[in-house]
Structure 1
Amino acid sequence: MKKLVSCIATLIILASCQDTKTLIFEEEFDAKALNESIWNYELGDGCPNCGWGNNERQLYTKENASLKDGHLVITATKDDSLYHSSRITTAQKFEFQYGIIEVRAKLPTGQGVWPAIWMLGHDFKEIGWPACGEIDIMEYVGKNPHEIHTTLHTTDSHGNSKNTKITTLNNIEEGFHVYKTNWSKDAIEFFIDGKSVYTFNPEVKNDQTWPYNKPFYLLLNLAIGGNFGGPEVDDTIFPQDFIIDYVRVYK
């Protein structure tokens, strides 16, 4: 009987070890200001690729991102004829290959908002998009309430976002929700509040279909309008806040 108990205990320990993961990046946003040794601000209107390549309306500023009560708050505003917001990245400061990315966030709402949690290949500036690859952990557009988009952009899918899933959740605008992606050499799986919603695992993996065998960096932003956010923007909704509680990456 003692041997049986010992064997069961050993199996439990082994299973636990297999499930362990190492935290390699943690941002709780509990400082007074954004840590610029980790994060970059991307500013302006994206020109010469104006509108950030998507006919977006906003100008990105530092002032539209703030830390409050342990949260990153990206605020979209409308001043006269100008829209402002913020976009931050970890490019060249924190880049990683494979892992579990987990972000807890609360969405803005209303016609025209387009918040996103996403990733780009570290060679974006060298080889361009979509060859660098893009992993959209979460996208939401206010014109389509209750829908979360998870999408992979590759050279093979350029011009046709075929590697995508729309998940409808009636309460997604209420409070905070956890968006997670498990990225390995074999597949990329997406979760919302712990529930798997989409897995990308192409049978043929090459430069056209799988640019995901290299380091990527993180991006957080709140766009306004644009090709995906929609041409119509309800100016009465502003200001709107995209609130991020934490960002964690595990290996």
Structure 2
Amino acid sequence: MRALLRGLVAAALLGTTAVAPAAPASAAAVTVTVDALTVSLASPVEHRPFTATAKVRASQPLAVEALTVAVRDAAGEIVDFPGAIATTLTTTAKTFTTEPRAYPAGTYTYRVAYLAGGVWTNLTPARSFTVAPNPVTFEQTFDGAQGGGPNTGLSKPVWFNDPCWQAACTGSIAEYRMDHAKLDGQGHLVLTADTAVTPGARCGDKACRYAAARLTMLDWENNEGLPAWSQTGGHFEVRMRAPVGKGLWPAFWTVGGNNATVEWPLSGEIDVVETRGHEPALVEQHVHGGDPYRQWGDSTPLPAGQTIDGWHTYAVDWDAGANGSIKWSVDGVVTRTLTAAEAGATWGQSFRHAHTLILNLAVGGAGDWVGDPDANTVFPAKLVVDHVRVYQKPLA
């Protein structure tokens, strides 16, 4: 009290008015205004998280227990964005961004709302967003009895053995066999590399030294290399654990569905992920295509302390439009982007038509980039796959 009196006396001597610090007003006496309200995606799609951002001010300070962006679906159910905050609104506009959320297909109404004194107040304007369907177009979770093959549970076979090993494709020194891709009975597909080579098997002009698996959706053995499944653009992901050891080279990748009539690299290739067993803290993210041949991409480090033999989800989001892009991610974090503008003419040549899938565990090849196994490489080596999933549209 004495300090306040001293302040008033001092103010009188200076010819000014002393004002005690303003306390937050009651909600009833305050006008709260929303200056801006938007969502982060112009065209939201199912399964793709996005945020809302609001710019809010008050006619005088107002303490709120929660400031949020409230959302209602077509049935009126509460489906708010997460990330409500406690704050004090003032005459200076506050910009507030929610945490991300993905919504099912449908139309939603959203607005800013706040909780003050235990009472919720909905603000105007109310706006709407529409989430477009984004169906899963291919999915395998590998639920089946131990020993089942890679087509277990599918309505028709889509995975076939790739006979390219006979010509030593990519320089591999392993023959590829379907019996080296089996379910483990615990919800995984296991691709195994070992030394159980078929007697007399030749990898190009050399004797094969290993047996492994390369599963392709291009049916070279029965249907002249036509794809059993293919798609133009979308979200492609795999969750897997890769083996560590020199010479081990697993990959999940796409290749042009026209590969039977348009040779690689013009047909196009998108490496969702490759790993090299002697570089366990790195993953490889590349594309190949065009005539003349072009390639983009590089090594991407995993977060500190993580290695390829742990579970990771690797994905590509591919917008195949004329001004589209390819975005790579590891565990939901975008790590690399290639735009159509950067790819130039190669984009139209190789990345605007349907691609199909390949999942493999190679041994050796690619010169020094992979190299052959050494004395420290342990066999059998296993690539363990939890799921493969594709959405019709990109998620990033």
Conserved? CA contact 2:181–2:213, under 8 Å = yes
Deviation readout 1:183-242 (Å, 9 max, x if unpaired): 112001000001100111031666534411111101100000101553331254111100
Q: Does 1:164 align with 2:302?
A: no
Query: Which 4+ stretches in 1 moved above 6 angstroms?
Result: 4-7
Q: Distance in 1 between matches of 2:70 and 2:236?
A: 34
Deviation readout 1:30-86 (Å, 9 max, x if unpaired): 124222724232244533xx111x211000011111001111100000247720001
Quote the residue 2:217 is aligned against.
Answer: 90
Whichever residue aligns with residue 22 of structure 1, its letter is: P
Quote the residue 1:249 is aligned against.
Answer: 390
Equivalent residue in structure 1 for 2:239, among 86, 94, 104? 104
Q: Which moved more, 1:82-91 or 1:166-175?
A: 166-175
Conserved? CA contact 1:45–1:58, under 8 Å = no
Name the count of aligned residue pairs: 243
Change (3 A) 1:180 1:59: same
Q: Give the unaligned 5+ runs of structure 2.
A: 1-30, 35-67, 73-108, 112-126, 198-207, 219-226
Q: Does 1:57 align with 2:177?
A: no
Q: Secondary structure at the match of 1:95?
A: coil
Equivalent residue in structure 2 for 1:78, among 183, 195, 200? 195
Whichever residue aligns with residue 247 of structure 2, its letter is: G
* Higher gyration radius (CA): 2
Quote the residue 1:39 is aligned against.
Answer: 158
State the shift of 1:157 in Å: 6.8
Quote the residue 1:232 is aligned against.
Answer: 372
Conserved? CA contact 2:165–2:172, under 8 Å = no
Q: Secondary structure at the match of 1:46?
A: helix
The aligned runs of 1:1-251 (5 Å cut-off) are 9=72, 10-11=109-110, 14-15=128-129, 17=131, 21-32=134-145, 33=148, 34-35=150-151, 37-44=156-163, 46-47=165-166, 50-52=167-169, 54-68=170-184, 69-79=186-196, 82-91=209-218, 92-155=227-290, 158=293, 161=295, 163-169=296-302, 170-184=305-319, 185=321, 186-203=324-341, 208-210=346-348, 211-227=350-366, 230-235=370-375, 236-251=377-392
TM normalised by structure 1 equals 0.86
Conserved? CA contact 2:275–2:308, under 8 Å = no
Q: Which moved more, 1:91-100 or 1:206-215?
A: 206-215
Q: Give the unaligned 5+ runs of structure 1.
A: none
TM normalised by structure 2 equals 0.56
